Amino acid sequence: MLDIEKLRADTPGCANVVHLNNAGSALPPRIVTDTVVTHLRREEEIGGYEAHAEAADRVAAVYASVARLVNAPRERVALVESATAAWDRGLQAIAFSEDIEPGDRFLVSAAEYASNVIPLLQLAQRTGAQVEFIPDGVDGTVDIEALGHMLDERVRIVAITHAPSQNGLLNDVVGIGDMLRINGSPAWYIVDACQSTGQISLDMGRIGCDVLSATGRKFLRGPRGTGFMVVSQRLLDDAQPFPLDLHGATWVSDQEFAVQPDARRFESWEKSYAALLGLGAAVDYALGCGIDELRARIDVLAQELRRRLDEIPGVQVRDRGSERTGIVTISAPDPAGIVAGLRAEGINTSYSPPDYARHDFAQHGITGLVRISPHAYNTEAELDRAVATLSRLVRESGR
Ligand SMILES: Cc1ncc(COP(=O)(O)O)c(C=O)c1O
């Protein structure tokens, strides 16, 4: 059982705001900020390279922590600056190493995030391939049977957002991985776990994807400017990141270089070690709480929010899926105005605009949403305040 009082005592921001924007950027626990600041102070005191050398063991431990979080060998983990950087580096490696030809197909989930679809569209434009959306099933998540029917040898990439930014649904990335394997699909499988990391347990072995991308600052509660990618052995064996720097490869003779054997080939040489150590502290904190415990608590709060928001005239809960995350989305008159009104009352939520997931929004005729995303440290009393304020703002906007 989680000790909510302790979670809150560990989280200084709880004293200042009702933070229901954990899908944006969560309130970090004190240990995360302390870890970052301590390392920055050390850089100030003895120099950046020297502080890094001193922290070598703690830096290595961050890879081990992330590996534990996703149940993967640590050699498959790369630490990067964002989920987008992680996702892009996976795609860059695939695009550099494969001959993508006219008529090849990239399949994406209907609720796919814009930053994943845009580079696939770029690649499609350059090669003559095409991007296709996998239809949703009856519960509003990726229809795995329909995916099975779409698969053929021209499908080169399958990209799935595990937990979309703009809906509480959770796609069955294990079932999708199984479908690719059952069909013997040669496609590269990319999973965007940006919003699920920290609230849903992830098992790289069971998902069986080639690239899993994640960010530090959302449900994991790490510092901004952190992220990670976890890759398959197949990606390491058959694809090469482009471009490589002197951290990802070694220049061994005038005409030759040797690629790093592990996933660190996807990293850049320069990084914020303060932020990286902060990410490690966040992962350890989440693992210490227990991801399943966090999920259960977040689910209670999210379900309660959905139930109560649905009762407000003029508000419609938009979340789909039989399994749901801590992302609660509603349509209401003037969603951006509601988010601003809540913010003015010290309640943080966010506005999801249609261009973040154009296909999904268009398919459901939605033009903008209020996203309310609780974390385990939120309380029922905070939900009461948020629901009452939101209800008043919706009433006022109708006048
Ligand atoms: C589903 C999803 N994927 C990817 C991203 C991008 O993450 P980052 O900003 O860390 O690159 C986001 C950000 O909101 C997201 O919600």
Mean pLDDT of 147-156: 98
Give all domains of the chain, ordered by start, each with its CATH number.
4-28+290-397 (3.90.1150.10), 31-287 (3.40.640.10)
The two three-digit tokens of residue 61, written as one number: 């431990």
Q: CA–CA separation, 386 vs 339, rounded Å?
A: 11
Q: Whose CA is nearest to atom 7 of ligand 1?
A: 83
Location of structure tokens 């966040």: 282
Rg for the chain, CA atoms, rounded: 21
Task: Please tell me the distance between residue 56's alpha carbon and the centre of ligand 1 in angstroms.
Answer: 29
Task: Say yes or no: CB of residue 169 within 6 Å of ligand 1.
Answer: no
Contact call for residues 332 and 317 (beta carbons, < 8 A)? no
Pick the closest to residue 31 from 353, 282, 321 (CA basis): 282
**Omega of the bond prior to 135 within 30 degrees of 0, cis?**
no
Mean pLDDT of 335-339: 97
Task: Say yes or no: CB of residue 82 within 6 Å of ligand 1.
Answer: yes
Query: Hey, which of 109, 167, 215 would you mutate to test ligand 1's pocket, going by the most ligand atoms within 8 Å of its Cβ?
Result: 215
pLDDT tens-digit series, residues 294-328:
999 999 999 999 999 999 999 999 999 999 999 99
Residue 258 neighbours by CB distance under 10 Å: 10
pLDDT tens-digit series, residues 44-97:
999 999 999 999 999 999 999 999 999 999 999 999 999 999 999 999 999 999
DSSP state of 14: G
Is 0.85 topped by the overall pTM? yes
Q: How far does the chain reach from its first CA to its final CA, in angstroms?
A: 45
pLDDT tens-digit series, residues 163-187:
999 999 999 999 999 999 999 999 9
Q: CA–CA separation, 388 vs 372, rounded Å?
A: 14
Task: Say yes or no: CB of residue 350 within 6 Å of ligand 1.
Answer: no
Q: CA–CA separation, 39 vs 34, rounded Å?
A: 8
Task: Please tell me the distance between residue 258's alpha carbon and the centre of ligand 1 in angstroms.
Answer: 32
Pick the closest to residue 305 from 363, 246, 389, 244 (CA basis): 389
Of the CA atoms within 13 Å of residue 226, those in its CB half-sphere come to 30
Work out the percent of the chain whose per-residue pLDDT is above 70: 100
Task: Say yes or no: CB of residue 88 within 6 Å of ligand 1.
Answer: no
DSSP state of 28: P
Task: Give the residues across from 329 on adjacent strands.
Answer: 371
Q: CA–CA separation, 88 vs 72, rounded Å?
A: 20
Q: CA–CA separation, 251 vs 270, rounded Å?
A: 17
How far does Cα 86 stand from its chain's mean position? 10
pLDDT at 399 over 80: no
pLDDT of residue 1: 86
Q: State phi, psi for 290 to the nearest 5 degrees.
A: 100, 120
pLDDT tens-digit series, residues 202-248:
999 999 999 999 999 999 999 999 999 999 999 999 999 999 999 99
Pair type for strands 350-352 and 369-372: antiparallel
Pick the closest to residue 229 from 244, 245, 209, 248 (CA basis): 209
Q: CA–CA separation, 24 vs 291, rounded Å?
A: 19
Q: CA–CA separation, 150 vs 154, rounded Å?
A: 10
pLDDT at 42 over 80: yes
DSSP state of 377: T
Task: Say yes or no: CB of residue 164 within 6 Å of ligand 1.
Answer: yes
pLDDT of residue 267: 98
Q: CA–CA separation, 345 vs 342, rounded Å?
A: 5
The two three-digit tokens of residue 291, written as one number: 């991801």
Task: Give the residues across from 132 on adjacent strands.
Answer: 107
Atom index in ligand 1 nearest the CA of residue 82 equals: 10
User: What DSSP assignment string belongs to 22-85?
Assistant: TTT-PPPPHHHHHHHHHHHHHHHHH-HHHHHHHTHHHHHHHHHHHHHHHT--GGGEEEES-HHH
Give the SS3 label for residue 262: coil
pLDDT of residue 398: 75
Pick the closest to residue 163 from 204, 103, 113 (CA basis): 113
